[in-house]
A = this chain, B = another copy of it.
Amino acid sequence: MPSDRLAFEDFEPGRQFPLGPYPVSAEDIIAFASEFDPQPMHLDEEAGKASILGGLSASGWHTCAIIMRMFIDGYIGNSTSQGAPGVDSCKWLRPVLAGDTLSGTSTVVSARALQSKPGLGAVELRHEIVNQKGETVCTCENSGFFGLRSKEAGT
C-alpha cells in the first residue's frame, strides 16, 4: 500500500509549502534565551529597547528553531525526511519581537537523487518568513535528505 507521506519525488522545483502561523510570546523568547542565548536583549524588555533590536527580541537561533517547527508542521512531519547536512545561508533581517506571529513559505529550488546514498535524494529549499505585518524577518536556504517513494514502496 503506497504511503501518503511526502517523498523525494514530490519535491518538484517551484513547489511551495505554506508555513505557520506561529505566535512568539515573551515567555518563549525568555525561556529559549535563558538556556541558549542569555544576552540582555533576549531576556529583558528594557534591555531590548536599549539595543539595536528595539525591544525584547528572539535569539536568531530561536527564530531558526521556530522555523524548523514550522517546517515540521507544514510538510516535513509528514514526509520521508532523513535530516539535513546544514544551512547554506540564513539572514535575520528584522527582529522577531515578543507578540509577533510568524508565517511564511518554503519553495523547492532543486532536487536530485543521491548516487552516494541509494534510496535518498537531496532537496534544496528556500524559505521566507514574515511577521504579522508582512515584513520579512528571515530568509534561509538549505538542503534536506528525503527518502525516495520507489525505495519506500520496495521495503
Contact = CB atoms under 8 A, between A and B. Distances in A.
B92 A38 contact: no
B69 A65 contact: no
Interface in A91-108: 91-93
A37 interface: yes
A8 interface: no
Contacts of A62: 65
A93 to B, nearest CB: 8
DSSP majority for the A interface? mixed
Given A61-B64, A61-B68, A91-B86, A81 B39 contact: yes
Contacts of A132: none
A41 B92 contact: no
Interface string A59-90: 11110111011001000110001111111111
Contacts of A82: 41, 51-52
A92 B86 contact: yes
A53 B117 CA distance: 13
B145 A83 contact: no
Interface of A: 32, 35-39, 41, 51-53, 59-62, 64-66, 68-69, 72, 76-77, 81-93, 117, 120, 138, 145
